[in-house]
Amino acid sequence: MELLDAIRNRRTTNSRFLEKPLSDDHIRTIIEAASYAPSHFNSQPWRFVLIRSREGRDRLGKIAGRSMRAVMEKGEFWKRYLKYFRFSREEIDKSGDGIYIDNMPAPLRPFIRYIFSEKGAEVMNKLRVPYILAIDSKRLITTSPLILAVLLTKEEYRKGELSGMYSMLALGMAIENIWLTANSLGVGVQFISLPMEAGGEHWAECVAMIDPPENYEVIALFRLGYVDPDAKRPTIDWSSKQRKDISQFCFDETFGNGWRSGRV
Ligand SMILES: Cc1cc2nc3c(=O)[nH]c(=O)nc-3n(C[C@H](O)[C@H](O)[C@H](O)COP(=O)(O)O)c2cc1C
């Protein structure tokens, strides 16, 4: 795949994967790609843990399902992230960012704006949305052939210090390498943030499963698997292909002066 095509076509896969294990060759290629990312003083502060066992994936699926339900029932999620939801083509075309809610289960459609409002949690709970989302989330994880945990060494990841920022930048670049390489092999990637969003015992249980030594911190979890071209879209699917125009985020000389070609 050409590099620019790979970058432009990289996507989050939020539907089910084929239930086929990832080949060792593909795992090696994907993880090795991470190691070519830049890092301050070539410190390579990242570590990865691969969870492939049925038992591990089931356990994580259960945690993710419970986390989803906890977060959604309290309505915190909608409140925290309301500013990112777009409800019409016009809105998304204007902002160029956020999540376009273009595919909702039919019974929810008439309430779409209301349920995403701050007061909407009650309606969501009555319609059992947290339960439906929890089942979806659990199923997506237990059926993923690979859960990837990414960690940083605390020797570098010192919060509030430059090395903390450097190591997070390096990890971000390593993850992008993983993502692009995975997609080029027909392997989809999705960030699993719900246990982190729920926090507390939910996240602690994930960390306990990974069992890192004292001087390593678990930063994030991802699920990976071969993309199923016939997979159904999930119950609530937030498509997010839209991007801002370059003039909206890249400036000439001083901040705010949107870049245009031919200006010199
Ligand atoms: C830090 C971070 C957290 C994210 N959390 C989630 C998540 O919990 N679930 C999910 O499906 N996508 C998650 N995403 C993916 C974004 O929603 C996605 O990258 C964005 O909407 C653009 O879509 P694309 O990746 O298909 O281009 C996360 C991405 C990042 C960088």
pLDDT at residue 126, as a whole number: 81
pLDDT at 228: 96
Q: Following DSSP, what letter does each residue of 228-247 receive, concatenated?
A: -TTPPPPSSEEE------HH
Degrees to nearest 5, angle at CA 38 with 32 and 43: 90
Q: What gap in Å lies between CA 16 and CA 96, rounded to an integer?
A: 27
CA distance linking residue 192 with residue 197, whole number of Å: 10
Which pLDDT score is estimated for 216?
Answer: 98
CA of 49 to the centre of ligand 1 (A): 20
Residue 87 has what pLDDT? 83
Residue 191 near residue 137, CB atoms below 8 Å:
no
CA of 24 to the centre of ligand 1 (A): 26
- What stretches in the chain show pLDDT beneath 50? none
By alpha-carbon position, which residue is closest to atom 16 of ligand 1? Answer: 12
Specify the pLDDT at position 130.
Answer: 86
pLDDT recorded at residue 1: 62
How would you list the strands of the sheet with 146-153, edge to edge?
Answer: 46-51, 146-153, 216-226, 187-191
Give, using CA atoms, the residue closest to atom 18 of ligand 1.
Answer: 12
Give the residue from 169, 168, 174 showing the smallest Cα distance to 152: 168
Q: How far away, in angstroms, is 13 Cα from ligand 1 center?
A: 9
Mutate to test the pocket of ligand 1, among 191, 224, 244 (most ligand atoms within 8 A of CB): 191
The alpha carbon of 253 and the centre of ligand 1 are apart by a number of angstroms equal to 31
Which uninterrupted H or E stretch holds 99? Answer: strand 99-103
Distances (CA, A) of 182 to 178, 224, 245: 6, 8, 27
Distance 122 CA to ligand 1 centre (A): 26
Query: CA 237, CA 205: separation in Å to the nearest integer?
Result: 27
For the chain, which residues make up each domain, given as ranges?
Answer: 3-249
pLDDT one-digit tens code per residue, 71-83:
988 877 777 888 8
The amino acid that residue 78 corresponds to is W
pTM of the model: 0.93
pLDDT at position 241: 87
Which pLDDT score, from 0 to 100, does residue 239 have?
A: 66
Residues lining ligand 1, Cβ inside 6 A: 11-12, 14, 99, 190-191, 193, 240
- Separation CA 74–CA 197 (nearest Å): 12
Structure tokens at 48: 């990865």
Domain formed by 3-249, architecture: 3-Layer(aba) Sandwich (3.40)
Q: Please give the number of the atom of ligand 1 that sits closest to the Cα of 10.
A: 27
| Residue closest by Cα to atom 14 of ligand 1 | 191
Cα–Cα distance, 251 to 3 (Å, whole number): 25
